[in-house]
Amino acid sequence: MKFALFVFSGSGNTVKIANKYKSILEDDGAEVITHMITLPLNEVDITPYDFIGIFYPIHAFNAPKIVLDFAKMLPVSNKKLFIVKTSGEPLILNNASSLKLLSILKKKGYNFTNEYSYCMPYNMIFRHDDGFATKMNSTALKLIEVDALELVKSIPHYLKKCPMGGVISFVFRIEHPAMKVNGKLFRVNKNKCVNCMQCIKNCPTKNISFENGKFHFKNNCTMCTACSFNCPTNAISIGVLNSWKVNGRYSLTSEECFQQTTHKNYCKKAYIRYFDEADMRIKNRI
């Protein structure tokens, strides 16, 4: 069986999930290629592959615009399709994030068979404490060992949708044009910047350039925050959402625990349900 995994990732959470899928599928004897979704978008030949997988982080209850644009470029096909997404919280409303993407691909003939969602540490809104980030990361990696085998064994898996999810997702899609505007408000603190150019290298939409000693932010921002999250000196402000900025990678070697910070009650019931259901799937693995 041959898999083509198409991945959009900002902070690195989603590409980590995709790489875990790739490893497990290859261990089971599958042939797997991974293609990062970046600008400029280029046509990709999917003819050799049996399964198409699209991986993305959820942005405001939607797939990022670049992912939708990529889906529009894919050829008409009856290939099997699965979707994998990541988010910082396990709200059922997040399951609606794939509706627009599926609308595009089903019209092209793709055979949608599986969908999975994993909680991974925020790179926006607030910073999870390291114990909780470790728990999220390890749970996701264990779940993938179950979920990837469902793909191999052709066992369908779908996520429960929220009754008003489609409407809410549609309303929040205003984020797509809004983030283009906000992206032009990004700024670099010259006193902190060390000119490592990691922000330019990490930007998947090629939105940042450096000319005549100054950083320039264009209008292709998708608000993945790869630039600010990975900045080694926390030198980048992210416009009107700067108060939500998270900078720097998490330590994922801490003892696993629920959040201990002032955000310990944030979506608490949803997190408990997510981890309980994950533990059950892991214990009852195929």
Q: Cα dist. 39→66, 85, 107, 221 in Å?
A: 8, 20, 24, 11
So what's the pLDDT on residue 261? 86
Using DSSP, state whether 118 is helix, strand or coil.
strand
Residues of the chain with pLDDT under 50: none
CATH number belonging to domain 2-170+274-283: 3.40.50.360
So what's the pLDDT on residue 286? 55
Q: Dmax over Cα atoms in the chain, in whole Å?
A: 59
> pTM to 2 decimals?
0.96
Residue 111 corresponds to which tokens in the numbers above? 């055979």
Residue 89 corresponds to which tokens in the numbers above? 């919280």
Pair 258, 135: CB distance under 8 Å = yes
Pair 65, 96: CB distance under 8 Å = no
Residue listed under structure tokens 């489609």: 166
So what's the pLDDT on residue 43? 87
Q: Do domains 2-170+274-283 and 175-244 have the same CATH topology?
A: no
Q: Cα dist. 109→1, 3, 42, 75, 157 in Å?
A: 20, 18, 20, 9, 19
Residue listed under structure tokens 């008409």: 76
Closest listed residue to residue 97, CA positions, set 111, 124, 118: 118
Burial of 240 (0-12, 13-18, 19+ CB in 10 A): exposed
Q: So where are the chain's domains? A: 2-170+274-283, 175-244
- Protein fold of 175-244: Alpha-Beta Plaits (3.30.70)
DSSP output for 181-211? HHHTTEEE-TTT-----HHHHH-TT--EEEE
